[in-house]
Amino acid sequence: MKYIIEHMEEGFSEWVILEYSQIIREVGKQNLILTSLPAGTTDRDIPPALLSLGLQWTTKECVDIEGGIDKSKVCLLDPAATEELVPSDSETYDYFVFGGILGSHPRIDRTGLLREKYGFAGRRLGALQMTTDTAIRTTQKIVQDQTKFEDIQFIDYPEIRYNKYESTEMPFRYIVDSAGEPILPEGMLELIKHDAEQSIDDLLL
């Protein structure tokens, strides 16, 4: 299986770097490619953390990688698709495309840009918005591990407590680990806490 992220954010925020790093660790650097980076991008524009994990990236669009890929073998993971991803989709599709998009609440349909541009078959991973790393983790469980969506344990809109008094609700669905905690990229908990404390400090200024 190849996982393709069409990068749709401007540059690389800390959040994006942590998500992409985690995805490389989980699917393997040889199975992930980041596509559609702006023309003129060089290695100097890619965060060192991602380069050191062996990120493969290109300014080409996803359809043009490997000398052009067969569209019938490509599945777009699309929150607005009408069909759900199932284990047998692994027999039809070799490439799974995701939007490299930071989620928003309420959800804005930016994946729609990919749907309209490429016309790939689309599959949904349930009705709730996931982070890109969660969407890839879920896809991997379904098409590689052959686990049905309904057998994966999720937590919706978890509350992340960042001190004794305050917490923040994450407006996404996450897979849970064996302790029932949402699986977040390494370093994400610290980043969420840092950002939350920062905005409180800004309010106090």
Distance CA 194, CA 159 (A): 15
Question: How many residues belong to the site for ligand SAM (CB under 6 A)?
Answer: 22
Task: Name the 3-class secondary structure at 96.
Answer: strand
Distance of CA 144 to CAs 11, 42, 78, Å? 30, 32, 19
The single residue among 33, 125, 184, 188 that binds ligand SAM, judged by CB under 6 A, is: 125
The single residue among 25, 29, 60, 110 that binds ligand SAM, judged by CB under 6 A, is: 110
Cβ atoms of 144 and 1 closer than 8 Å:
yes
Q: Does 132 sit near ligand SAM (CB under 6 A)?
A: yes
**Please, what sign has the CA dihedral across residues 132, 133, 137, 140?**
positive
Write the single-letter amino acid at 49: A
Please list every residue from 42 through 81 that binds ligand SAM, using CB under 6 A. 77-79
Closest among 186, 161, 183 to 173, alpha carbons compared = 183
72 vs 104 by CB, closer to ligand SAM = 104
The single residue among 7, 16, 103, 137 that binds ligand SAM, judged by CB under 6 A, is: 103
Cβ neighbours of 111 (radius 10 Å): 24
Q: Does 19 sit near ligand SAM (CB under 6 A)?
A: no
Q: Which one of 14-22, 123-131, 179-187, 188-196 is the stretch in contact with ligand SAM (CB under 6 A)?
A: 123-131
Q: Does 182 sit near ligand SAM (CB under 6 A)?
A: no
Q: Does 135 sit near ligand SAM (CB under 6 A)?
A: yes
Tell me the CB-side half-sphere exposure of residue 90, using CA atoms within 13 A: 13
Q: Does 22 sit near ligand SAM (CB under 6 A)?
A: no
Q: Residue numbers of the site for ligand SAM (CB under 6 A)? A: 77-79, 98-99, 101, 103-104, 107-111, 124-126, 128-132, 135
